[in-house]
């Protein structure tokens, strides 16, 4: 639907719908914490950012049209999908026999603070840098 | 909620859904004119990769099975930062050029 719908604003709304659908898939995979983070960050924050970006560019084209790369892009995406499906079906996945996780939030919190402290801190620095960069970029010039 | 928790999915189904999402995102990112639409394609690809991370964490035997979830959360963090910066770029370019059509933004053309 994001591909074929004519209005860019409707495409953003369908993107939010697909984000919520992916959160439902996370719940079936017993990843409750990731599902909650998905709804908060994607369906909340990023969706609001995208709606703001569409609304702040009023004189630009609101259409959702394709450019000259349409045929090669379609070909590339189709080839990629065919390759992925072939590999997934042909591979012998040795699936684990254990059941689903119970609650994952506590274990994820411990993992973030003991083996993954350095990436955690780097991620916070990255968020601060992105925030400052976004503010500087959209600032009005004197 | 309880219906979803009781649902059974297999690894192959989730991986094929992830591959399909990635292909749709790739097509959108390559073929759309509007810069915001291109960003939507990129977000869709990041989501597909996250889905496969969580699926492998659920189904593949590992000594630390929750590492996939941790990595998915890091990917979500980086995606949020990237979306903020890229949408700010789109708004800044719109101020100068009055368009965010990626075909018309050709200042760097050789």
Express each pLDDT in A62-119 by its tens digit: 666 666 677 888 888 888 888 888 888 887 777 766 666 667 777 788 777 888 888 8
Nearest to A66 among B4, B32, B57 (CB): B32
- Beta-carbon separation of A19 and B17 below 8 A: no
ipTM at complex level = 0.81
pLDDT value of position A61: 62
In the predicted model, is pLDDT for residue B109 greater than 70? no
Distance from CA of A35 to the nearest CA of B (A): 10
pLDDT value of position B2: 52
Closest CA to A60 of B17, B91, B20: B91
CA–CA distance, A13 with B36 (Å, rounded to integer):
13
pLDDT tens, position by position, B57-80: 888 777 777 888 888 888 999 998
Distance from CA of B105 to the nearest CA of A (A): 12
In the predicted model, is pLDDT for residue A3 greater than 70? no
Kindly report which listed range (A15-19, A32-36, B1-5, B89-93) carries the lowest average pLDDT score. Answer: B1-5
- Beta-carbon separation of A137 and B88 below 8 A: yes
Distance from CA of B2 to the nearest CA of A (A): 10
Closest CA to B18 of A13, A18, A34, A39: A18
CA–CA distance, A21 with A5 (Å, rounded to integer):
18
pLDDT value of position B36: 84
* CB contact at 8 A, A22 and B44: no
Q: Which of residues 46-105 of B touch A (CB under 8 A)?
A: 47, 50-51, 54-55, 57-62, 64-67, 69-70, 72-74, 76-85, 87-92, 94, 98-103
Site from B12, B80, B104 to mutate, A interface, most A CB atoms within 10 angstroms: B80
- Mean pLDDT over the full length of chain B: 81
pLDDT tens, position by position, A24-75: 888 888 888 888 888 888 888 888 888 888 887 776 666 666 666 778 888 8
Distance from CA of B53 to the nearest CA of A (A): 10
A103: which strand partners? none
| pTM, two decimal places | 0.83
Closest CA to B48 of B67, B29, B66: B29
Element (H, E) at A94: none
Nearest to A25 among B12, B14, B39 (CB): B14
CA–CA distance, B91 with B110 (Å, rounded to integer):
24
A101 φ/ψ angles, rounded to the nearest 5 degrees: -70, 155
CA–CA distance, A14 with A79 (Å, rounded to integer):
25
In the predicted model, is pLDDT for residue A16 greater than 80? yes
CA–CA distance, A44 with A16 (Å, rounded to integer):
9
Closest CA to A34 of B27, B6, B56: B56
**pLDDT class for A2, splitting at 50, 70, 90?**
low
* CB contact at 8 A, B40 and A12: yes
Averaged pLDDT, B5-24: 80
pLDDT value of position B45: 92
In the predicted model, is pLDDT for residue A4 greater than 70? no
**pLDDT class for A6, splitting at 50, 70, 90?**
low
pLDDT value of position A24: 87
Task: State what percent of residues in chain B have pLDDT above 70.
Answer: 85
């Amino acid at each position: 639907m994001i591909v074929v719908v004519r209005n860019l604003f409707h495409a953003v709304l369908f993107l939010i719908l697909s984000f919520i659908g992916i959160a439902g898939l996370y719940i079936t995979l017993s990843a409750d914490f990731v599902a909650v983070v998905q709804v908060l960050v994607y369906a909340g924050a990023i969706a609001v950012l995208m709606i703001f970006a569409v609304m702040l560019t009023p004189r630009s084209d609101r259409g959702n049209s394709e450019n000259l790369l349409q045929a090669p892009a379609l070909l590339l995406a189709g080839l990629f999908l065919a390759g992925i499906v072939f590999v997934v079906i042909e591979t012998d996945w040795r699936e684990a026999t254990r059941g689903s996780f119970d609650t994952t939030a506590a274990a994820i919190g411990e993992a973030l603070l003991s083996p993954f402290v350095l990436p955690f801190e780097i991620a916070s620095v990255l968020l601060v840098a992105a925030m400052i960069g976004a503010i500087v970029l959209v600032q009005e010039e004197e | 909620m309880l219906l979803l928790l009781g649902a059974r999915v297999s690894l192959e189904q989730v991986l094929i859904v992830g591959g399909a999402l990635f292909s749709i995102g790739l097509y959108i990112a390559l073929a759309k004119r509007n810069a915001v639409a291109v960003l939507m394609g990129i977000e869709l690809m990041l989501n597909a990769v996250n889905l496969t991370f969580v699926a492998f964490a659920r189904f593949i035997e590992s000594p630390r099975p929750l590492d996939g979830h941790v990595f998915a959360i890091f990917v979500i963090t980086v995606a949020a930062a990237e979306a903020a910066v890229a949408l700010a770029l789109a708004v800044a370019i719109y101020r100068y050029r009055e368009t965010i059509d990626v075909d018309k933004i050709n200042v760097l053309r050789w």
